[in-house]
Amino acid sequence: MHDVVIIGGGPAGYRAAERLGERGRSVLLVEKGHLGGTCLNVGCVPTKTLLNSAKLYAHALESERFGVSADSVRFDWERMMAWKQEVVEKLRAGIAGEMKKAKVTLIAGEAAIEGPGKVRVNEAGAPSCIEECKAILIATGSSPFAPPIPGLKGNPKVLDSTGILELKDFPKRLCVIGGGVIGVEFASLFSSLGCEVSVVEMMDEIVPFMDAEQAPVLRRALNKIKWKLGCTVLSIEGSTVRYRDKEGAAESIEADLVLAAIGRRPNVEGWGAESLSLDRSAKGIVTDDRMRASAPGVWAAGDVTGRSLLAHSAYRMAEVAAADIDATLAGESGGRERMRWDAIPWAVYSIPDAAGVGMTEQEAKAKGFDTACAKINLRASGRFAAENGFQAQGAVKLVSDKASGRILGLHGVGSYASEAIWGGAALIEQEMRASELRELILPHPTVWELIRDAAWQLRDQ
């Protein structure tokens, strides 16, 4: 008998396996695909690898104004894809090495819960068997969502975020359906490489969860993309997308390929949820703040919960679940760790990138806060101007509670936003006030030292 059986080897699954193995627990991890899940194999890592190549290409094209001449700059899509695959495979091998170090048993196959403490495992080339355990962790992830748009399903000209990462030939024209994180990142990638990109988005602004002042900054920075906002897709015919604009007029976009980037949905079926009558919401498997599901001895972490479909959220959910599982198996009432949802940062890895954490100004006001906000153009940073020029788009915004000065949110668009946002998470987790942020010493010249300047602006409000 195993202490724990984990279904799914993505960020939540392998991180929990690692933490439990470090605690001396016997862990069986079952993964039907590749270790690393969506993030490593067909999500975060491959897209960022390709985006880095696109960034190098874009910088080379613009380098002359900074005193560097590069003749005959070109990109090689085939070599970019080969590098992407090399990165994925080496990192995948690294995860396998970590599992071995933690003494985790790996099975390549499918798993389904048969009942309390029982998981049926179908390993490739081996007879089906029942694995008994003391605890089960569900980490089955999510899959691309395909809405019922006429002409989308079964259309070889329509790809999802998984399919486009296996693209053999670089398209001249791409139509992206969806202006959320996934759609914006791919639109940025292909437009930076010279593809004619159009994005059709139902909402009136891209990345709808962004602060209302910051989203337009990002959109203006992505000025090679044709944005069709407030539009509804009616049908797809081959690679032609027909849509209705915000005035109600029928329009169409001719493309070589269509990317359906409408979003993802948790994988809540196919692994035996019904055998335990687990509670589900419209988003995913319901858990408490220790990641316990509704059935005794069952936990869930990662995208399958539907709470936060981000790899870094999955890591933390996994660590909380692992701590609670370990404590429960030790006969304690449960682990001391809790999942906190208020300071989970997000990032859009476009060129340039954007990031945020905590409440937007709109969310804070909706929750009853009397807000004080400060917004600073990144061109106020000497480093930003030196590296990007004086026409580049970028801004940082700090949201605080006027009464207490407590920092409620940090939002940014521009260079290094995704690398700096962890600091905002720390500010919010520690419930720091703008007055305390003003007392910090940040390195100069850096782009994101401007958050301190924003805190000084708040002093006068």
What confidence category does residue 209 fall into, taking pLDDT thresholds of 50, 70 and 90?
A: very high
pLDDT at site 216: 97
pLDDT at 179 over 90: yes
Q: Is the dihedral of CA 66, 70, 75, 76 positive or negative?
A: negative
- Angle value at C-alpha 323, between 317 and 329, nearest 5 degrees: 130
pLDDT at 334 over 80: no
Q: DSSP code of 267?
A: -
**What is the spatial order of strands in the sheet that 158-159 belongs to?**
158-159, 257-260, 173-177, 196-201, 226-229
Residue 203 in contact with residue 230, Cβ under 8 Å?
yes
What confidence category does residue 56 fall into, taking pLDDT thresholds of 50, 70 and 90?
A: very high
What's the topology of domain 2-143+265-329? Answer: FAD/NAD(P)-binding domain (3.50.50)
Q: Report how far apart, in Å, the C-alpha atoms of 204 and of each of 174, 207, 234, 264, 362 are.
A: 21, 10, 17, 21, 16
pLDDT at 95 over 80: yes
pLDDT at site 460: 73
Task: Flag the least confident range among 78-92, 183-197, 241-255, 266-280.
Answer: 266-280
pLDDT at site 298: 97
pLDDT at 274 over 90: no
Residue 291 in contact with residue 317, Cβ under 8 Å?
yes
pLDDT at 67 over 90: yes
What confidence category does residue 88 fall into, taking pLDDT thresholds of 50, 70 and 90?
A: very high
Average of per-residue pLDDT across 223-227:
97
Given the candidates 1.10.287.90, 1.10.3720.10, 3.40.630.30, 3.30.390.30, the CATH classification of the domain at 352-458 is 3.30.390.30
Q: Average pLDDT over the chain, rounded to whole?
A: 96
Q: pLDDT tens across 296-327, in order? A: 999 999 999 999 999 999 999 999 999 999 99
pLDDT at 146 over 90: no
Average of per-residue pLDDT across 113-136:
92
Average of per-residue pLDDT across 377-400:
96
What confidence category does residue 277 fall into, taking pLDDT thresholds of 50, 70 and 90?
A: confident
Structure tokens at 297: 């001895």
Q: DSSP code of 448?
A: G
- Angle value at C-alpha 282, between 210 and 28, nearest 5 degrees: 95
pLDDT at site 124: 80
In whole angstroms, give the CA distance from residue 40 to residue 209. 24
pLDDT at 336 over 90: no
Percent of the chain with pLDDT over 70: 100
E strands, 8-146, in order? 27-31, 105-115, 118-123, 129-138, 142-144
Determine phi and psi for 188, rounding to 5 degrees: -65, -45
Average of per-residue pLDDT across 361-379:
97
In whole angstroms, give the CA distance from residue 159 to residue 156. 7
In whole angstroms, give the CA distance from residue 293 to residue 137. 9
Burial zone of 67 (CB within 10 Å; 0-12 exposed, 13-18 middle, 19+ buried): exposed
Given the candidates 3.50.50.60, 3.40.50.300, 3.90.330.10, 3.40.50.720, the CATH classification of the domain at 158-262 is 3.50.50.60
User: For the CA atoms of the chain, what is the radius of gyration?
Assistant: 23
pLDDT at 125 over 80: no
Residue 433 in contact with residue 403, Cβ under 8 Å?
no
In whole angstroms, give the CA distance from residue 178 to residue 184. 8
Burial zone of 224 (CB within 10 Å; 0-12 exposed, 13-18 middle, 19+ buried): middle
Average of per-residue pLDDT across 427-451:
97
Tell me the angle at which helices 77-101 and 44-62 cross, rounded to the nearest 10 degrees.
140
Residue 158 in contact with residue 258, Cβ under 8 Å?
yes
Rounded to the nearest angstrom, the gap between the alpha carbon of residue 126 and the centroid of all alpha carbons in its chain is: 35
Average of per-residue pLDDT across 328-355:
93
CATH 3.50.50.60-classified regions of the chain: 2-143+265-329, 158-262
What confidence category does residue 251 fall into, taking pLDDT thresholds of 50, 70 and 90?
A: very high
The set of catalytic residues is: 444
Please enumerate in sequence order all residues whose Cβ is within 8 A of that of 116, keeping only pairs 6 or more positions apart, or say none. 276, 295, 296, 297
In whole angstroms, give the CA distance from residue 228 to residue 243. 10
Q: pLDDT tens across 22-51, in order? A: 999 999 999 999 999 999 999 999 999 999
Percent of the chain with pLDDT over 90: 94
